[in-house]
């Protein structure tokens, strides 16, 4: 499920997100590919893919991101929340 723009923190860059909760591992790859294709056609420079703490789901996502040669990071900068992957256009 693609969520709207994140507007919780004033002054922060708005970010588009893909939430993979309730998406099967079988369907996850197609959802990520579709989301990344939309991302690459937009003027957005950074998105988040919410995977939860499922290592198999994170592996599915990072494999797709590597195929597209995108920069990515699991979790936030402090490594407190590792339930999402931040993706940036290089």
pTM value is: 0.82
pLDDT recorded at residue 88: 93
- State the burial class of residue 66 (Cβ atoms within 10 Å of its Cβ: 0-12, 13-18, 19+): exposed
CA dist., res. 6 & res. 63, Å (int): 25
Tell me the pairing of strands 71-74 and 84-88: antiparallel
User: Are 88 and 60 contacting, i.e. CB atoms less than 8 angstroms apart?
Assistant: no
**Model confidence over 27-40: pLDDT tens digits?**
999 999 999 999 99
Counting as low any pLDDT under 70, the low residues of the chain are 1-13
Q: What is the CATH number of domain 2-88?
A: 3.30.1370.110
Domain boundaries, the chain: 2-88
Do residues 39 and 87 lie in contact, with contact meaning Cβ atoms separated by under 8 Å?
yes
Q: What is the pLDDT of residue 10?
A: 53
Give the single-character DSSP code of 13. P
Q: What is the pLDDT of residue 78?
A: 74
pLDDT of residue 30: 97
């Amino acid at each position: 499920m693609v969520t709207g723009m994140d507007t919780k923190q004033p002054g922060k860059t708005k970010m588009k997100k893909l939430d993979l909760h309730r998406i099967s591992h079988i369907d996850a790859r197609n959802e990520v590919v579709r989301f990344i294709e939309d991302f690459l056609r937009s003027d957005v420079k950074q998105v988040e893919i919410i995977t939860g703490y499922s290592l198999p789901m994170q592996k599915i996502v990072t494999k797709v991101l590597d195929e597209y040669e995108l920069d990515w990071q699991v979790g936030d900068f402090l490594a407190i929340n590792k339930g999402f992957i931040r993706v940036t256009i290089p």
